[in-house]
């Protein structure tokens, strides 16, 4: 089973919410309904991608619109969060996929899941650092020591990174330090099956 995606939301430089989709959206909705005036930026933790949600209406309406398991129209299997996209393969690849007993889509999903499980910790750590970098660009691009902190981030120098961001806003500093510590921990994990 896939892990729940987690998100972190900032209003200005202050952390508003962090956690699973439903919990995070509920807290952000409360912040906005209580008159919060700071601009809210929400990041998906694993990718660092900035995401937007429609906060109009009741908290239940916000959750219904945002929940991938909720009602949806269009291709795919919405209850599973399946999204249809185009894949271009060579004829020999299509032939192999067509011979699979569970069908082409299931075979592709299985191959991707198996590859993800074998993904070495170092590669996952690289992706985690890239996610942290995206948050840094959006939230700290104009803060002191930004360029040096970026170098320390990708140079895997955690102590230097934390020293360089020490004067940054507390919530942002704590969030970035957590992401970098998690990335360092991933590097120490052995590859699955190895």
Alpha carbon of residue 57 to chain centroid = 26
pTM more than 0.85: no
Cα dist from 159 to 15, 105, 139, 147, 156, whole Å: 23, 44, 21, 16, 9
Same domain, 109 and 128: no
Cα dist from 167 to 145, 172, 175, whole Å: 9, 10, 14
| pLDDT digit string (tens) for the chain, length 194 residues | 356 789 999 999 999 999 999 999 999 999 999 999 999 999 999 899 999 999 999 989 998 888 755 444 455 555 556 677 888 888 898 889 889 888 888 888 888 878 777 777 788 888 889 999 999 999 999 999 999 999 999 999 999 999 999 999 999 999 999 999 988 888 776 655 54
Structural domain that includes position 103: 86-118
- Edge to edge, the sheet with strand 14-20 lists 14-20, 6-11, 40-44, 50-51
Same domain, 158 and 141: yes
What is the pairing mode between strands 50-51 and 40-44? antiparallel
Query: 4 burial class (0-12, 13-18, 19+ CB within 10 angstroms)?
Result: exposed
Residue 145 within any structural domain of the chain: yes
Residue 76 within any structural domain of the chain: no
What pLDDT, on the 0 to 100 scale, is given for residue 121? 77
- Return the bridge partners of 50, or none: 43
Number of structural domains (the chain) is 3
Same domain, 127 and 157: yes
- Return the bridge partners of 51, or none: 42
Contacts of 97 (CB under 8 A, 6+ apart): 89, 104, 107, 108
Same domain, 112 and 140: no
């Amino acid at each position: 089973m896939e892990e729940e995606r987690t998100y972190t939301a900032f209003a200005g430089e202050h952390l508003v919410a962090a956690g699973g989709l439903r919990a995070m959206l509920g807290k952000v909705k409360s912040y906005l309904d209580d008159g919060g005036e700071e601009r809210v930026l929400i990041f998906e933790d694993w990718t660092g991608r900035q995401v937007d949600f429609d906060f109009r209406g009741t908290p239940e309406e916000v959750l219904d619109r945002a929940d991938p398991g909720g009602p949806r129209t269009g291709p795919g299997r919405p209850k599973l969060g399946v999204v249809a996209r185009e894949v271009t393969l060579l004829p020999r690849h299509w032939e192999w996929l067509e011979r699979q007993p569970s069908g082409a889509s299931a075979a592709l999903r299985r191959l991707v899941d198996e590859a993800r499980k074998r993904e070495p910790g170092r590669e996952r750590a690289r992706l985690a650092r890239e996610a942290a970098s995206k948050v840094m660009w959006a939230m700290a691009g104009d803060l002191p020591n930004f360029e040096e902190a970026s170098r320390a981030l990708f140079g895997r120098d955690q102590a230097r990174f934390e020293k360089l961001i020490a004067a940054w806003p507390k919530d942002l500093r704590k969030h970035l330090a957590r992401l970098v510590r998690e990335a360092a921990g991933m590097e120490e994990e052995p590859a699955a099956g190895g």
